[in-house]
């Protein structure tokens, strides 16, 4: 967050990961914050227990380290995407990554919140969502975004979505198949 109160999403976390990597990475605190965007369940682990389990150097540690590597990839790709790609491409990437973490094909979220996440003007999100709706990829109605044509949305997204998805799958698969 900046002094003016502005912020931007750097990464999304769902059932594939966690917030609080600074605890096991040795930093103990972080200057960033986490915001819950969608309904669902979350679990909390006491700090001491997390550090103890991590220090055992088993599968738990391997999973957390691989997840951290995937998270860093997502953060770097998000920064590049926000700098180099159109709002429409960023919206596609963001929708796809968010939908990957949801059991449904519909997201309950205002364009204002999406604009805040992408750090763009709400009008830009309105215009981009309208274009995606006209193409038949999504349906947008007052606070609800439904993906109608995922393949079309993926084709319309920049390469950033594929990079993040592929890296997460590679890292998760390697840990679970190698040690599982």
Q: Which residue has the higher pLDDT, 163 or 29?
A: 163
Q: Which CATH class is domain 21-179?
A: mainly alpha
pLDDT band at 179, cuts 50/70/90? very low
pLDDT band at 142, cuts 50/70/90? confident
pLDDT (average), residues 150-167: 95
Distance between alpha carbon 56 and the CA centroid of its chain, in Å? 29
Summarised one tens digit per residue, pLDDT across range 115-126 is: 988 889 999 999
pLDDT (average), residues 129-143: 94
Q: Rounded to an integer, what distance in angstroms lies between the CA atom of residue 54 and that of residue 61?
A: 5
Distance between alpha carbon 1 and the CA centroid of its chain, in Å? 18
pLDDT (average), residues 83-89: 95
Q: What is the pLDDT of residue 161?
A: 96
- Is residue 84 packed enough to be buried (19+ CB in 10 Å), middle (13-18) or exposed (0-12)? exposed
What does the domain layout of the chain look like in residue ranges?
A: 21-179
User: Rounded mean pLDDT of the chain?
Assistant: 89
Q: Which residue has the higher pLDDT, 42 or 180?
A: 42
pLDDT band at 178, cuts 50/70/90? very low
Q: Kindly give the interhelix angle for 122-134 and 111-118, rounded to the nearest 10 degrees.
A: 110
Query: What's the pTM value of the predicted model, to 2 decimals?
Result: 0.86
Q: For 167, what's the count of Cα atoms within 13 Å in the CB-facing half-sphere?
A: 19
Q: What is the pLDDT of residue 85?
A: 96
pLDDT of residue 166 exceeding 70: yes
Q: What is the pLDDT of residue 63?
A: 93
φ, ψ of residue 145 in degrees (nearest 5): -120, 120
Summarised one tens digit per residue, pLDDT across range 47-58 is: 999 999 999 999
pLDDT of residue 96 exceeding 50: yes
């Amino acid at each position: 967050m900046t002094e003016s109160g502005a912020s931007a999403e750097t990464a999304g976390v769902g059932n594939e990961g966690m917030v609080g990597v600074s605890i096991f990475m040795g930093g103990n605190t972080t200057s960033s914050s986490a915001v819950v965007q969608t309904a669902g369940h979350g679990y909390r682990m006491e700090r001491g227990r997390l550090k103890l389990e991590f220090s055992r150097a088993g599968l738990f540690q391997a999973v957390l380290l691989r997840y951290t590597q995937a998270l860093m990839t997502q953060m770097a790709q998000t920064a590049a995407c926000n700098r180099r790609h159109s709002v429409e491409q960023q919206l596609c990437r963001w929708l796809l990554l968010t939908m990957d973490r949801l059991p449904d094909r519909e997201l309950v979220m205002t364009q204002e919140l999406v604009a805040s996440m992408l750090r763009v003007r709400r009008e830009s999100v309105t215009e981009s969502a309208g274009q995606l709706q006209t193409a038949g990829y999504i349906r947008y109605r007052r606070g609800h975004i439904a993906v109608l044509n995922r393949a079309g949305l993926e084709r319309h997204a920049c390469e950033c979505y594929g990079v993040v998805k592929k890296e997460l799958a590679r890292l998760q698969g390697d840990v679970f198949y190698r040690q599982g």
